[in-house]
Chain A
């Protein structure tokens, strides 16, 4: 890995070549304020149930309308039940209030709400690219830290707190410091069994949990251009765990083919105009970046985390390194211990990281004709209703069920523990993005991995290598 520190002098703005991030940014600046801060136009606002209703309530109480209701989509994903036959209720303490506020707020402000009975419902970062709510070149915010996921289709998307969400809803704009572009180039030939999740976890390990602190990461290089859009979404999703402000992959033909199939994509002349603009959204060859890093993916193995941060990660065949005592104690591991063969009692496939159709296909390929080990509680939660229906059309639900997985309705589910269902006290291999202490339940020990690794581990009843048949 090579890292370049910031340069002190920059050529004047007019002659500078721009990165894709700066090009999208420049298109959205309404006014430049003191010290480089800009008033930035926000094309789409996504709102979810955990805090979204509260924000809409604040607007109502202040007598303030939503500036552009057509630009806003609300979804019930974080606190909804995901068990089959759900009713739209919540088991999470206070969850009923959160959902009631979201529903009332969406109604009052005239917002499109994707509730549990809507075919478009799902995890906010899964549905926004899938439905064509997010498009290349757009700016987008959501009250969630993984909003940068949709950078995978070339949108500039930021996670914000609820106060900034309120500002974006009320004004259609945000006050922001200009992005600090960082280029992360992924080189080499990625081995076939190494997924985007493995690449992203490896990156977290190499760069560290503040390896992209405050920066907007542009992923480039042959590994990225060779990825499908779904893989790029996974990659950008994990940039949050490097403390990146957001991440993006410049749109290319792969992106345009993907977007063309989404329900809300522009049509006819509008489509042609959009494609013309998206085609120009490339970084200039000599664009400047505040930082750059190059990571070779040629010799990668499937990755599994051993600690309580996504950056505490090793190849599946590796041994636990000497790491922070706190993390080792929490995970009940010793340095030098192999991860392979470590018994587990939970397996989870879901989340905005890895619950798209390609993820489910990869897991099902491992599970076909096999069964989950007797003491393992295995759960698969599709990222959206559309993903679930597609999986069922392909018969993947049958594969998951036959293997002993619980097959769910779409939502965030046990990616995080809000007080409803959890993996309390269990060791879990999980396709999610955070292995923080207690994230998936009180004292839950989470090992992040790809869907294929989760499936292989569920079958083995222990952490397993998905490459071994």
Chain B
């Protein structure tokens, strides 16, 4: 279980702007399009409900944004369902960063678990990058070590990450590896807890009857 996740701390790429607010995970990947196995390609289904039959009008299908690896989204991106498939769809379609004005909390956590950087820019930087990216194809660098999105002119737009997520994205360490460093503390807690809160120890249905 200790395989590293993600692509390392510094990622550069083309920005695809999808500047809508409250894009939910049902839209990112429809439930019925989610393949049953983890090894399947989820990228094919990314935004299918908005792309089907639209030719090259949807931003990700426009020739100038082909090969984009950084998605620029609006506010509350990835709200709604907890489906991690939404993140896998982005990952399999080649995205390793999502820059947004805000994220749904579960989506954001899922990004980190899969090595995708969820970067929240403050409104001024967000609209500046939005203006740049909608004017034409632009490449930026998302630097996890500096916690900044570096624009083509070299200016750095800062973004926050909580320290643990920062560590995970910078080192590629999985949360399970990090938790495993505390095995003894967990065992102690479970023991103490059974004494402090005996009522909280799970009862099976057989015992209850």
Interface residues of A (CB under 8 A from B): 27, 30-31, 33-37, 39, 41, 43-44, 50-51, 54, 57-58, 62, 64, 68, 70-71, 92-95, 97-98, 101, 112, 120, 132, 135, 137-138, 143-145, 147, 159-164, 166-167, 170-175, 177, 209-210, 213-214, 243, 245, 263-267, 270-271, 273-274, 277, 309, 416-419, 434, 436-439
Contacts and interface: CB of A to CB of B under 8 A. Distances in A.
Given A112-B205, A434-B80, A418 B186 contact: no
Contact of B79 (A120, A209, A263, A439): A209
B199 A274 contact: yes
A436 B24 contact: yes
A167 B179 contact: yes
Contacts of A270: 198-199
B109 interface: yes
A68 B109 CA distance: 24
Given A161-B87, A417-B31, A41 B164 contact: no
Contact of A170 (B37, B81, B82, B176): B176
A352 B188 CA distance: 36
Given A51-B84, A94-B36, A264-B205, A160 B199 contact: no
Contacts of A417: 30-32
B54 interface: no
B88 to A, nearest CB: 10
Contacts of B200: 43, 135, 137-138, 274
Contacts of A31: 182, 185
B26 A243 contact: no
B162 A35 contact: yes
Contacts of B31: 50, 416-419
A161 B22 contact: no
A419 B45 CA distance: 14
A177 B189 contact: no
A163 B203 contact: no
Contacts of A309: 22
A395 B185 CA distance: 53
B163 A35 contact: yes
A240 to B, nearest CB: 8
A34 B84 CA distance: 26
Nearest to B183: A171
Interface in B178-209: 178-180, 182, 185-186, 189-190, 193, 197-205, 208
Contact of B37 (A33, A54, A263): A54
B106 A159 contact: yes
B178 A175 contact: yes
A449 B81 CA distance: 19
B164 A34 contact: yes
Contacts of A159: 82, 106
Contacts of B37: 54, 97
A437 B27 contact: yes
Given A41-B193, A94-B35, A177-B162, A171 B180 contact: yes
Given A41-B193, A92-B32, A145 B81 contact: yes
A66 B94 CA distance: 33
Contacts of B24: 434, 436
Contacts of B164: 33-35, 37, 175, 177
A266 B82 contact: no
24 contacts: A31-B185, A33-B164, A34-B163, A68-B190, A94-B35, A97-B36, A97-B37, A132-B208, A135-B200, A160-B106, A161-B87, A161-B106, A161-B109, A163-B110, A164-B175, A166-B176, A171-B186, A209-B22, A210-B79, A210-B102, A243-B76, A263-B208, A266-B199, A438-B30
A224 B105 CA distance: 25
Contact of A58 (B32, B38, B167): B38
A452 B49 CA distance: 32
B26 A434 contact: yes
Given A30-B185, A135-B200, A161-B113, 17 more contacts: A34-B163, A35-B163, A39-B182, A39-B186, A70-B204, A135-B199, A145-B81, A160-B109, A164-B113, A166-B176, A174-B175, A213-B102, A273-B198, A273-B199, A417-B32, A436-B27, A438-B26
Given A54-B37, A120-B205, A419-B31, A41 B189 contact: yes
A389 B22 CA distance: 39
Nearest to B24: A436
Contacts of B109: 160-161, 164
B84 A161 contact: yes
Contacts of B162: 35-37, 177
Interface string B63-90: 0000000000001100111111101000
Contact of B163 (A37, A58, A170): A37
B176 A266 contact: no
A67 B93 CA distance: 34
Contacts of B13: none
B104 interface: yes
B141 interface: no
For the complex of A and B, list the 3 residue pairs with the smallest distance between their C-beta atoms, beginning with the closest. A35-B163, A419-B32, A94-B36
A37 to B, nearest CB: 4
Interface string B146-164: 0000000000000000111
Contact of B186 (A97, A162, A173): A173
B25 to A, nearest CB: 8
B208 A213 contact: no
Interface string B16-58: 0000001010110011101111100000000001000000000
Nearest to A162: B84
A51 B104 CA distance: 19
B186 to A, nearest CB: 6
A327 to B, nearest CB: 10
Interface in B108-150: 109-110, 113-114
A322 B149 CA distance: 36
A263 B178 CA distance: 37
Nearest to B32: A419
A39 B185 CA distance: 10
Contacts of A68: 190, 202
B205 A263 contact: yes
Contacts of B197: 27, 273, 277
